[in-house]
Structure formats: C-alpha cells, structure tokens
Structure 1
Amino acid sequence: MSGGNASGLVAGISIDLKRLHETWMEIVYPRQVDADETVLGKWTPSSRRSRITYRLWGIAGVPVIGLLYPFVLLGYVVRAQADRLDGVAARLGAIGVVGALAVLWGGLSIVAWDQFTRAGFIAVLAASLVAVVAGLLAYLFRRVGGRFTTVLVAYPLGVTALFLPPVVAALYSPTIADVVFAQSEAVAKWINTNLLDVFDINDRLRRTYDLRGVAHVGMWVGISVPVGWLVGFVVTLANLVRPSRPE
C-alpha cells in the first residue's frame, strides 16, 4: 500500500469515527453532528458540571463506537452489493424482477424435474414459487416503504428469494447437499455456540432437534429474517456514517 493510499485510509477512518462519536453525543446533546461549519456551530456546555457530564458521556461512547465500527465497515461492503441489486431491480421493474427470478428458479425446477424424484421436483417448484413471490414483495416494500419497512420486511424477503430454492434442492441432490448442508451445519454450530449459549438454550436445542432433511429448510427460513435485519442494520449504519451519494 502506498503512502498516499495509507494516509487516505487513515483520514477516512478518522472522519468515520468522528461522525460516529458526534452521533453518539447528539443522543443527549443538540447540534453535534456536522455542526462545526454551521452558523451556530457545535453546542458546548457552559457550566462546570455540564462540562463534566458532557465529557463523561463522550468517554462512555468510545467502547460503543469500537463495537459498532466493524459493522459500519461491513455495511459499506453490503451496501455496495445491495445498491447494485437495487439498481438492477429498479431498471427491471416489478415485472422484470418476477421474470428474472422465474427464469433463474424455473431453470432450477427444470433440472429438478429431470434429475430428482417427483417429490423432489414438487418441493423445488414450491420453493421457487415462494422465492418469486418473496422477491416481488421485497421489491414492492422497498419501493413503497421507507427505511424502516425496507429493513424490517424487504431485506428478509430478499434473502428468502435468493436462498430458499437451492436449500430445498439440496434435500434431493447429494452434490448440492455437500455444499449447502455442510454450510448449514457450520452456521448452526456457530449460532448455537455463540448466540444461544444463555440459559442452556443451545443444549436444549441439541437434545430436542436434529439438523436433518427438512430441518435445514426450516433453519434457513428462520435465519432469513435475522440475516435480513442484520443486512438492514449494517447498511443503515453505513448510511448514517457516510451517506450514499445521490444518483
């Protein structure tokens, strides 16, 4: 990495951290974010007591910012991909989105009809239909709703539209299963170990449920909602720290 690139990276990180800290300060105090160049300027406390609480609040935000900034960086990457998909969807329109998903998952259904049993073909076809409907709903909620609707509804539906059919197909194809189910088990182990290790929830799940067959589908359908929310959360953070340029 050249010196110029390194200094530019450091400057970008400094700007991000400054804006994050200003956002934290504005939770309690007025005129903090991007207020330096305004007529009124940044608000500062006047009394000794208020200056102490102001500084303490600023110090309290340091670990919070340290925890959030990796998600901001992830948000930049996810936002770039989401913007590309959103741009493609905007150019295609609702009918185009339905058509593209129908072609994509219709092709998978044709393969299932040729390679799988009748039950396998019906399962993949049903998953493909669900994915197409989910994709259409994701497009509509993204277009007619605001940020809250996009994060709460559109992103989870988008994840379902992209991942449900191949997971169902993996139930009937050893080749696909080797990839999808191996990843499913790795994801399930990580969730159990890192996210559900409270009140013995993970131990109860291991004793009660076995991740086999259709359980993989249930797991991925269940994951699509929090994954969609996580995507929306990191993209929202990225937009908060470094807003997208208007097209």
Structure 2
Amino acid sequence: MGAVRIDVTRLHDTWMEVAFPRQLDASSVLGKWQPETTPQRIAYKLWAAIGIPLVLFGYPLLLVGFATRYYATRLDSAVTRIGVLGVLLVATLVWGTLTVITRVQLSTEAFLAVGAASVVAIASAGLAALFSKVGGRATSVLLAYPFAMTALFLPPVVAALFTPSLGEVIFPNSTELAVWILDTLLAVGGINDWLRANFTLEGTGYVLMWFGLAIPTGWLLGLLVALADVIRPKPDD
C-alpha cells in the first residue's frame, strides 16, 4: 500500500503542477509552493479538489502505463542488442517460416493470407523498432508505439481477408466494435454520421478500421508510459 500511496500522491502533485509551481519534485531549498493570498488559497483548494476524481480515474490508467513500460523496456533491450536490422531479420524469419509452412501444408488461399499478413507484420515491426531508437520520447509516442500496435492489430485482419474461417470470427466482432465506437466515442458533432455515409465496413475497410485504431491506441499507450516515467521514474532517468 505504501507504493500505491506514493504513486497517488505524485499523480495528484502532477495535476497540481499544471496550475501551480513547485508541486512535483520541489527542491529541498525552496520547498513546495504554498498559496499566500485568499484568492490563491481558494484557487489552490479548488484545483486540488478537482484533481481528486481525476486521480481516482487516472490511477488504473497509470497501472496500464507501468505494465506497458515493463514490456516495452524488455523489447527495447532486445532491439538494442540485435538492432533494427536484427528485428527485421527475426520478423522475416518467423513470418517467412509460417508462410512457407502454409504454402506446403495448406491451401493457396491460406498461403496468400499469411503472406499478406507477413508483409504487414514485418514492415510494422521494423518501423516500430526504428522509431524507438530515433529521436526521443516524442518520437516513440508519435510513431514507435502506433507502429507496434499496427504490427499487433493488422496481420490477423489482413489474413482474414483471404481466409473465410478467420473472417467469420474477426469481421463480426470488428463490426460490433465499430458500431459501439460510432455510437459512443464518435457520437459527437455528427462524426459517426459522416463516417457511416462515407465508408463501408467491408473488405479493406476492416484493415483501414484497425489501422485507424492502432494509431490512437499507440498514442494512448505511449502517453501512459510517459506518465509512468513522471510518476515513478526509472533508475536510469
């Protein structure tokens, strides 16, 4: 419970830092800033009160950030050891082997499915590894995490385009997810109506849908990892 208390306190201090100086990691010399006038005290307490429900809502997301950082750190260590070309070679070896096995043992349709999925997976994995090493945190959040999610999301969807049995599982569930997103998250300003009028969820539409989901999902995970670094910095930070 001690670690949870520290995390929650730092999360609230981070919220306070948005509006007031020296709230998070205040120096031992100056200490944490305190309001001096009545308007400052009112604003300070009001801002602190607003932050309480946000912290309660944000803490589970912070835990997701911790978990994502844990696995991302290990993947990053692997990329450091073998390099971007190594990642491409490993991805090519794994997916190439699966493609060859499919060609020998299964139908031409299945072979095309796995082959198409392989191209998507290899390219996305390589780009994710590249952008995780080029630039800083912003590049990782904006590019590395989205491509990593693309490598995870798109191969099964691409394969489903060529494999009816797989499509029977992926496409109906994708449709249900799309309907939920349109009726909830995108039911603002007529966005859902515009999407329904201009796009049809069939064929490559499913690929575009999951690519569209991979990008913001990657951004969200990247931001949560960045928040985790602020709340509980890694030893080498």
Same fold (TM over 0.5): yes
Give 5+ residue unaligned stretches, structure 2: none
Are 2:8 and 1:17 equivalent residues in the alignment?
yes
SS of alignment partner, residue 27 of structure 1? helix
Q: Among 208, 218, 230, which residue is 1:218 paired with?
A: 208
1:240 aligns with 2:227: no
1:43 aligns with: 33
Deviations 1:50-75 (A, max 9, x none): 22222222222223323322211221
CA distance in 1, matches of 2:96, 2:6: 47
User: Are 2:113 and 2:163, in contact at CA under 8 Å, matched by a contact in 1?
Assistant: no
Q: TM-score, normalised to structure 2's length?
A: 0.86
Greater Cα shift, 102-111 or 220-229: 102-111
How far has the Cα of 1:78 moved from its partner?
Answer: 1.9
Q: For residue 204 of structure 1, report the CA deviation from its aligned partner.
A: 4.6
TM-score, length of structure 1 as denominator length: 0.83
Q: Within 5 A, what are the aligned runs for 1:105-120?
A: 105-114=95-104, 115-117=106-108
Percentage of identical aligned residues? 46
TM-aligned CA distance change 1:145 to 1:121, over 3 Å: same
Amino acid at match of 2:22: R
The total of aligned residue pairs comes to: 236
Contact 1:105–1:165 (Cα < 8 Å) also in 2: no
Distance 1:171 1:108, change over 3 A: farther
**2:45 aligned to which of 44, 55, 66:** 55
Unaligned runs of 5+ in 1: 1-7
Counterpart pick for 1:201 among 183, 191, 209: 191
Q: What do residues 68-101 of structure 1 show as CA deviations (whole Å, max 9, x unaligned)? A: 2221122122222222222222222222201111
Whether 1:188 aligns to 2:205 is no
Shift of 1:171: 1.6
Equivalences for residues 20-35 of structure 1 within 5 A: 20-35=11-26
Cα displacement (A) at 1:111: 4.5
Q: How far 1:121 sits from its partner (Å)?
A: 4.3
Instruction: Report the AA paired with residue 12 of structure 2.
Output: H
